[in-house]
Amino acid sequence: MQYIEIERQDKIGVIYLNSPHNRNALSSGLLAEMSDALDAFAAEERIVTVIANKAVSNVWSAGHDINELESDGIDPLHYANSLENILRKIETYPGVVIAAIHGSVWGGACDLAITCDMIIADDTATFAITPAKLGIAYNTWGVLHFINKLPLNIAKEMFFTAEPISAERALRVGLINHFIRHENFRAKVEEICQTIVSRAPLSIRLFKEQFRTLTNAATISPEDFERLQELRRRVYRSDDYKEGINSFFEKRKPNFKGK
């Protein structure tokens, strides 16, 4: 594999993000390999899958691969986007998916981490959701992930400021399950995995599906859905979105004009 490494330990599967040249950016190539690994672990009935990064990197993932963000008037986060596909695959995985976070987490990778069933982070971890930095029209399903996981004011602060929050604060606000000093991190992840492996797998798979179905039960009218889509369309067709993308590659601050 070119972008990830995988390990198998009895009923546990481990996916290591391993694309250091672009800080584990969630490229379609990396996401395709992650998707195949999740399919293989599900077929092998691995009741726990861990998504981690090699400790050598101080970035868990830099988020969606910005090179692959469409900016020609097409929705960059449409339903069939490879990141959206992997989020749905994590949500429907027949077992527990744990994000083991060492280093910083950015943008769509933050959505991926909170879509996992649990997050265990060490003292180097930070979390940022960054569409406002790039002028991106985040998708409505993605916003719902943060509403389901966080107090509304915290979710709003993260989206409006696009600033990272520390692991300590992430624990206080309930974004992560455990905040572990780096030296004890691997042992804690292993301990939690082994506890889950020791429980009844059929019950675990039932709970996973019950949580997913009930969590996604938010209803909005078709008219409201279309209205939000139109608001998103105005953003992803804006000059600001193009400015956000260009500023990243030109390594300069964006100059947003609100149009």
* Site residues (vs ligand YXS, CB under 6 A): 22-23, 25, 59, 62-67, 104, 106-108, 129-131, 133-134, 136, 138
Cα separation, 41 vs 97, whole angstroms: 11
The catalytic position among 64, 102, 145, 178 is 64
Identify which of residues 11 and 19 has a Cβ nearer to ligand YXS in the complex.
19
Q: How far is the CB of 134 from ligand YXS (least distance, A)?
A: 5
Name the residue with the smallest CB distance to ligand YXS.
107
Judge whether 258 counts as a catalytic residue: no
* 37 touches 6 (CB < 8 A): yes
Judge whether 178 counts as a catalytic residue: no
Q: What's CA 95's distance to the chain center, in Å?
A: 17
Q: How many residues does the chain have?
A: 259
Q: How far is the CB of 92 from ligand YXS (least distance, A)?
A: 22
Q: How far is the CB of 126 from ligand YXS (least distance, A)?
A: 9
The catalytic position among 103, 108, 135, 244 is 108
Q: How far is the CB of 229 from ligand YXS (least distance, A)?
A: 16
Rounded to 5 degrees, what angle do the CA atoms 208, 13, 173 make? 50
Q: How far is the CB of 130 from ligand YXS (least distance, A)?
A: 4
* 137 touches 228 (CB < 8 A): no
Rounded to 5 degrees, what angle do the CA atoms 206, 212, 213 make? 90
Identify which of residues 148 and 194 has a Cβ nearer to ligand YXS in the complex.
148
Give the Cβ contact number of residue 243 at 10 Å.
18
DSSP H or E run through 131: helix 131-134
> With DSSP H G I counted as helix, E B as strand and the rest as coil, what are the percentages for the chain, rounded to 5?
50, 15, 35
Judge whether 174 counts as a catalytic residue: no
Identify which of residues 156 and 188 has a Cβ nearer to ligand YXS in the complex.
156
The catalytic position among 3, 16, 93, 138 is 138
Identify which of residues 68 and 190 has a Cβ nearer to ligand YXS in the complex.
68
Identify which of residues 23 and 208 has a Cβ nearer to ligand YXS in the complex.
23
Cα separation, 85 vs 67, whole angstroms: 18
Active site residues: 64, 108, 138
